Structure 1
Amino acid sequence: MARYNLWQNQNLVAAAEALSPAARAEERGAFFGSIAGTFSHLLWADLAWMSRFEAGEAPACGVTGSAALFADWEAFKAQRAETDARILAWAHALGVAELASDLAWYSGTLGRDVTRALGLCVAHFFNHQTHHRGQIHAMLTAAGARPGDTDLFVMPEDVGR
């Protein structure tokens, strides 16, 4: 799933490059507003989860500020690529036994401490990415961009290797 994440983020970012900055920022009725806002939220969430998985620093804002966190497109692309490489390295090092352990963190969204199985959190992490990339894909298509394939079975073998 980390390889798929990398592949699809590259796919959607490349498709979004065909749009003007105004088209990426245009309000489209999605939960995070625009293509750019949804990309920003997704990167924010990936960084938040990676901070939990690796016991590192979380993004400076909460979910309500996530759509505006990465407003500069070039900076977003650089951070997206860096984060995807980080996710890939983390996933390659993750062991099966670790997935059965618990992960504990403070959830700003829920306003309380949470403990869940790491395996469930990892499944949520990748599912969340797919959910929001689906929204981005729909907005890109409606805006006239043409993302590439998204089917897992057609992912090139060399992605992320």
Structure 2
Amino acid sequence: MQRLEHLRQMVAYNTWMNARLYEAAQTLPDSEISVERGAFFGSILGTLNHLAVADLIWLGRYTGHPAGFAALQALDSLPRPSRLNQPLAADIRELADLRTRLDACLEALAQEIREEHLDQPLSYRNTQGAEARKNFFALLMHLFNHQTHHRGQATTLLMQAGVDMGVTDLLALIPNHP
């Protein structure tokens, strides 16, 4: 599998899982979504909020790529968080709207990226202000790995609240080979 194919598969998985995750979360009352459950970001809402915050931060960093991706202009109308737990929405419905917009931005970005963009280094500052310069493809894969990590936490929190997510594996989207 080529890297662009892999990137686009990860974007498709991301969109699919986020849609399912938010659908499952919205079956619960707001009070259940916001209840402290001892997770790193507290609640189901806190965990989903953190994922949106992290995606906004990383997508904002990607605007520094020399290719100047047009897809990232969608960020102009979105919040610019400065903390990893910064609240972005009043409730799950508002956060779901933001999630849909972020996923659309990622889908557009994946279509715009070309193979030659992947090996270019990206310079950025982390949330503490430390400078970094890293391979762009590796940073894209980090975004998806981070999402998978915290979605796993969110599915555990949903299970604790009585909501079964069912299949969550990327394997569900990998077609059978002839």
The answer to whether the superposition gives a TM-score over 0.5 is yes
| Sequence identity percentage | 37
Q: 1: CA distance between counterparts of 2:134 and 2:149?
A: 21
User: Is the 2:53–2:84 Cα contact (8 Å) retained in structure 1?
Assistant: no
Separation (CA, whole Å) in 1 of partners of 2:173 and 2:102: 20
Q: Does 1:80 align with 2:99?
A: yes
Q: CA deviation at 1:114?
A: 1.2
Structure 2: any 5+ residue segments left out of the alignment?
1-9, 65-74
Q: Which amino acid aligns with 2:54?
A: A
Per the alignment, in what secondary structure is the counterpart of residue 63 of structure 1?
coil
| Count of residues in correspondence between the two structures | 155
Give the 3-state SS of the residue equivalent to 1:114 in structure 2. strand
Contact kept, 8 Å, 2:33 with 2:44, in 1: the verdict is: yes
The letter for the 2-side match of 1:50 is L
What does residue range 108-147 of structure 1 map to in structure 2 within 5 Å? 108-109=127-128, 111-147=129-165
The structural deviation recorded for 1:155 is 2.6
**Which has the larger Rg?**
2
Structure 1 gaps of 5+ residues are none
Aligned to 2:81: 61
Q: Quickly say closer, same or farther: Cα 1:27–1:123, change in 2 above 3 A.
A: same
Aligned to 1:151: 169
Query: TM-score, normalization: structure 2?
Result: 0.80
RMSD: 1.8
CA–CA distance in structure 2, aligned partners of residues 22 and 143 of structure 1: 11
